[in-house]
Copies of this chain bind each other. A is one copy, B any other.
């Protein structure tokens, strides 16, 4: 999309550190029960970060539970991570509580991320884009992106919105 354009604007891409938090009862249970993980999001994130010369620091998997999500998120915020990606729990079913859990912790909300993510999704998948409640915000000088659980959604957000702006965001938050 706007990639060539953005490369010019921000100069050489900065190398930043990314941590990932998968929010999913299903994925969590697979691990608890020693089963093979059916997660397809982590490999997609790793591949995109590698291709863009970004650092993948760590991932963790938590169930759809308010306190577990908060606890891991607050640990990540103390780490050397620059960007935190959560994936899963942004839909409209009762178990989807990632947004309800994380949004009240944001010091600043970045409404524009959710809007443009849904606009780009709409171009790709049509009206079901409106069912995602993807959001982004700032806690303690780190930016948190709450993405849906599907690999395609994560790819769209990373390639078209997050990675092109990550260096820019880091610079702004230092000011």
Contact = CB atoms under 8 A, between A and B. Distances in A.
Interface of A: 1-3, 5-6, 9, 66-67, 70-71, 74-75, 77-78, 91-96, 100, 104, 108-116, 118-119, 122, 125-133, 136, 138-140, 143, 160-161, 164-165, 168-169, 172-175
A111 B121 CA distance: 14
A129 B116 contact: yes
A5 B126 contact: yes
Nearest to A130: B112
Contacts of A9: 125-126, 128
Given A71-B78, A172-B92, A127 B138 contact: no
14 contacts: A5-B125, A5-B126, A6-B128, A67-B78, A67-B139, A91-B172, A93-B173, A100-B108, A108-B133, A110-B133, A112-B129, A112-B133, A115-B115, A130-B161
Pick the 9 closest A-B CB pairs, nearest first.
A2-B126, A112-B130, A93-B175, A127-B164, A71-B74, A112-B118, A6-B126, A113-B130, A127-B161
A114 B111 contact: yes
A131 B74 contact: no
Q: How many copies does the complex hold?
A: 6
A131 B110 contact: yes
Contacts of A2: 122, 125-127
Contacts of A161: 127, 130
Contact of A131 (B112, B126, B133, B140): B112
Nearest to A121: B112
